Chain A
Amino acid sequence: MNVGSFMLPHSEKITYGLGIESTAHTFGASIVASTGTILSDVKSVYTPLEGSGIHPREASRHHTEKAAGVIKEALKSAGIEAKDLLFIAYSAGPGLGPCLRVGATVARALASYLNLPLVPVNHAVGHIEVAAFECGFSDPLVLLVSGGHTLISAHSKSRWRIFGETLDITIGQLLDQFGRAAGFGSPAGKKLEDLAKSAQRYISLPYTVKGNDVSFSGLLTAAKALLSSGESLKDLAYSIQETGFAMLCEVTERALAFTEKKELLVTGGVAANRRFCEMLNAVASRHNARFGAVSAKYAGDCGAQIAWTGLLAHHAGVSIPVEKSIIRQSWRLDSVDIPWRSS
């Protein structure tokens, strides 16, 4: 089948792969078929107490407890058994060490026991590939917006090159940390989006764009200070969204004008925000580019992003021996070789 710009080899026998995600709050497992379909996607999400963030130790304990059940469920709903698998893919980074180690340990155990190749997947590449697959895009300008990432990228010469990124915290962290100050648990994006709908007025907040890069730390500090001085939470939620999203739209538009790409793809957890997608859609149409957003079910961290990318990587011959399968808490997108994409 044709997946954008690259082909998956045609084969008589359908083969299957398992992908395991465990970079942060989500433990996910997904089964993909060599025909180019995602057969199942099961997850269990660790939820911190209201008003607090992810505790890495608690999150990894959650993953340890849920791992077996989630994987069994992924196999069951795909209607296959472990012996039908051809590879095991796992998120090897970037992310929280204790969480990554749970997924990697499970993946190593399965790969050893079933004698299957182990495929390391970069979590950011996973977000991009699953979205490109869903939207049928072959050469997009990508905006990756989540709790861990905020960057603009396009593929060139076997790497995802970064055209702009945050100089400090991510858009997801901006929303979550403001939400936490307001007493919400993480992720807080959905709650803030709902609150923003009933806002009365726009409050001016720091808007920081440097070239193609953005900075959200000043915006967060100002918004938290205004909240504690008694400003309306609804108005602040609205103003944070409008300001932060406008900054990202601006740098995206600059990158779109600069690269002249004809597809704009948004992926990652914050891609689930309707207002943001509406703004990005307008940016794309101003530059005659098609707009695509990852669907809500694959926007947040999920096994499917790892399984799907694992499939592409496995076909391109990527695998790692168990004894070398370390996890990498720091693993930048632009340092990952992408052998399955041409140009």
Chain B
Amino acid sequence: MEKLIKRGAEADLYLIEWLNLPAVRKVRVPKPYFQPQLDQAIRSHRTLQEALFLRKARECGVSTPLVYFVDIKGAELIMQYVEGERLKEALSTRGGDECLALCKEMGRTIALLHSHDIMHSDLTPSNFILYRGRLVTIDFGLSFISRKLEDRAVDLHLLKGVLNSTYTEKADLYFTSVLEGYGSIFGEGSVNALKEKIREIERRGRYARVV
């Protein structure tokens, strides 16, 4: 038995049974409109990165689904099924205080990853699942290791962009809470350096008003 649960931009997700446990089969399907060698390289690389970083993240105390099976060439991953609500939906449906608490928790989670030099590279509220009051982080296909402040700032800059385009009026409040949660791990001093770096990246943006 196999049920398609989501057709994403990059992969198809199926709900399956794996050793009598509900599991997710994530298949990075070939894109016939991509150059074939490039397509294969991207799909295999991302599958490998995702499997590696799902495990690495757990070592830092970040909840992630357990990986059951990896097929690099077939670009396929079988992992634990986490039943819960995506943070993307939670932030549009729940009350103000609860949303801010969730954003703070998201910031704390990101800081845990960053404190172990893990850059997620795809931080959006769609990639956190709310499970029994905890946040489970997913989609590590673009992740990489870095110790640079610049890379940490880019990671958060991307999240800020997503929050701005999705939750327009509340975005600033949400992002402030993210940084608050981030500071609870890293300390206020590092957060200020990070904020300055994010501003620098914004100023570099095309046609940004130079202030």
Residues of B at under 8 Å CB distance from A? 7-10, 31-35, 37-39, 41-42, 121-124, 126, 142, 154, 158-159, 161-162, 164-165, 168, 201, 204-210
Contacts and interface: CB of A to CB of B under 8 A. Distances in A.
A213 B160 CA distance: 12
Contacts of B209: 330, 332, 335
A207 B206 CA distance: 20
A148 B168 CA distance: 25
Interface residues of A, number: 46
Given A163-B165, A213-B158, A253-B10, 12 more contacts: A93-B207, A156-B168, A161-B168, A165-B206, A202-B37, A207-B42, A210-B142, A211-B122, A243-B35, A249-B31, A257-B8, A329-B207
Given A156-B168, A279-B33, A211 B206 contact: no
Given A210-B142, A211-B124, A330 B207 contact: yes
A278 interface: yes
* Best-buried of B124, B154, B205 by chain A (most CB within 10 Å): B205
Nearest to A278: B33
B38 A243 contact: yes
A329 B35 CA distance: 37
Contacts of A209: 142
A243 B142 CA distance: 17
Contacts of B37: 202, 204
Contacts of B35: 202, 239, 242-243, 246
Given A210-B121, A242-B38, A249 B33 contact: yes
A226 to B, nearest CB: 16
13 contacts: A164-B161, A209-B142, A210-B142, A210-B158, A211-B158, A212-B161, A239-B35, A243-B35, A250-B9, A257-B9, A282-B33, A330-B208, A333-B207
